[in-house]
Amino acid sequence: MSVRMGFIGTGGIAQGHMDRLSRIEGVEMVSFCDVNLDRARAAAEKFGGRAYSDFAKMLEGEDLTAVFIGTPPFAHGEIEFACCERGLHMLIEKPVAIDCDMARPILKKVKESGVITLVAYKYRWDDHVIKSKEMLAGRTIGLVFGNFWGGLPGAPWWRVQEQSGGQMVEQTTHIVDMARYLAGEIMQVQAFQTRQVMHKKVENCNIADAATANLVFANGAVGNISNTCMLAGWGQSSCRVMAEGFTLNIAGPVLTWNSAEESGEYTKQEDGYLGEDRAFIHAIKTGDRSVIHSDYEDAYRTLAATVAVNRSAETGGAVISVADLL
């Protein structure tokens, strides 16, 4: 069975998926769509296929099996509806939408259509993160601490709250999702944010400089996740989990752990980016969805947690129930 792939969005993240998918047996690169037609043409020249600037024309004109969707958060909706109508499976870059009001009807359509979805929360396919989940199994988790600290990405839409959802929704979502993957569902959040610098330094920038969110998990654990885009020349992201008599920390490709009995370190061996792409193709070819660690419905819950952080921060720290947004 040949999986005929179309791509909607051909920027940097998409190009990584193109490179990996093109090396997977049974994948045919068919078409490429981008609002920047030159960028779509460049992809078509490299991988073969046709270039489009209108996704509707691409879907109408091509015989596709599946579509990669790599658009900014504000651009979701019509694309997913059209794919569901045509029965096209979807590999979607995170986040799945800018807010839950946008994502909720998409989720309904996905369920009705029965198409396979995989949302690219790549940490769930990194072997050191999978190992972390296995090490935490059966332990009583008490505290989760995560962060995403760095600078301002170059994309103009990223710095506009109404287009990206801000750093928590667009970027720190990776850490929020990892916290959910390792420690379970987030039930409540209380958040605070500050805007002091970036809106003065960068034109058309209205996202927060920094934010911090307190979390309550369904299993009784508590936590905190913080982010900032104020930095230059340095960045770091990590997730630490503390359980009874045991702690582990994931920082980049390195997992470390400590207990009274042992301590250790493990460096990632298996690439999550390749893992998620392989899982998507495997699920389409075999119908086995067990290899999909994050489908649309699961990613929707991560989105809800990040949107809850924004809601709380905008109200000066009100406690927000994530379930109320689902």
Distance between CA atoms of residues 208 and 10, nearest Å: 28
Looking at the fold, whether 265 and 131 belong to one and the same domain comes out as yes
User: Does some domain include residue 321?
Assistant: yes
Looking at the fold, whether 243 and 103 belong to one and the same domain comes out as no
Distance between CA atoms of residues 216 and 182, nearest Å: 14
Are the beta carbons of 299 and 95 closer than 8 angstroms? Answer: yes
Count the domains in the chain: 2
Looking at the fold, whether 185 and 313 belong to one and the same domain comes out as yes
Which is nearest to 167 in space by CA: 198, 200, 143? 198
Q: What DSSP line would sit under 261-318, residue for residue?
A: S-EEEEE--S-HHHHHHHHHHHHHHH--GGG-S--HHHHHHHHHHHHHHHHHHHTTS-
Average pLDDT on 278-307 reads 98
If pLDDT is split at 50, 70 and 90, which confidence band does 74 have? very high
Distance between CA atoms of residues 87 and 91, nearest Å: 13
User: Does some domain include residue 298?
Assistant: no
Percentage, residues of the chain above pLDDT 70: 100
Determine if residue 52 is left, alpha or beta; phi over 0 gives left, psi from -120 to 50 gives alpha, anything else beta: beta
The pair of structure tokens assigned to 237 is 């992201």
Looking at the fold, whether 183 and 144 belong to one and the same domain comes out as yes
Looking at the fold, whether 39 and 28 belong to one and the same domain comes out as yes
Which pTM does this prediction carry?
A: 0.97
* pLDDT reported for residue 174: 98
**Is residue 81 classed exposed, middle or buried when 0-12, 13-18 and 19+ CB atoms within 10 A define those classes?**
middle
If pLDDT is split at 50, 70 and 90, which confidence band does 175 have? very high
Are the beta carbons of 239 and 250 closer than 8 angstroms? Answer: yes
Average pLDDT on 14-41 reads 96
* CB environment 247-280: b (16+ within 10 A), e (fewer): bbbbeeeebebeeeeeeeebebeebbbbbbbbbb
pLDDT at 301 over 90: yes
Which is nearest to 209 in space by CA: 269, 246, 168? 168
If pLDDT is split at 50, 70 and 90, which confidence band does 152 have? very high
Query: What is the CB-side half-sphere exposure of residue 232 using CA atoms within 13 A?
Result: 4
The pair of structure tokens assigned to 68 is 């990669």
Looking at the fold, whether 172 and 317 belong to one and the same domain comes out as yes
pLDDT digits (tens, 9 = 90+) for 236-261: 999 999 999 999 999 999 999 999 99
pLDDT at 1 over 90: no
Looking at the fold, whether 196 and 318 belong to one and the same domain comes out as yes
Place of tokens 């994050």: 294
Average pLDDT on 115-126 reads 98
* pLDDT reported for residue 283: 98
Place of tokens 């809850």: 308
Looking at the fold, whether 51 and 29 belong to one and the same domain comes out as yes
Q: Which domain range does residue 248 map to?
A: 125-269+303-325
pLDDT at 61 over 90: yes
If pLDDT is split at 50, 70 and 90, which confidence band does 144 have? very high
Looking at the fold, whether 251 and 307 belong to one and the same domain comes out as yes
User: Does some domain include residue 36?
Assistant: yes
93 DSSP 8-state letter: P
Looking at the fold, whether 94 and 62 belong to one and the same domain comes out as yes
What CATH number did the domain enclosing 250 receive? 3.30.360.10
Looking at the fold, whether 171 and 78 belong to one and the same domain comes out as no
* pLDDT reported for residue 107: 98
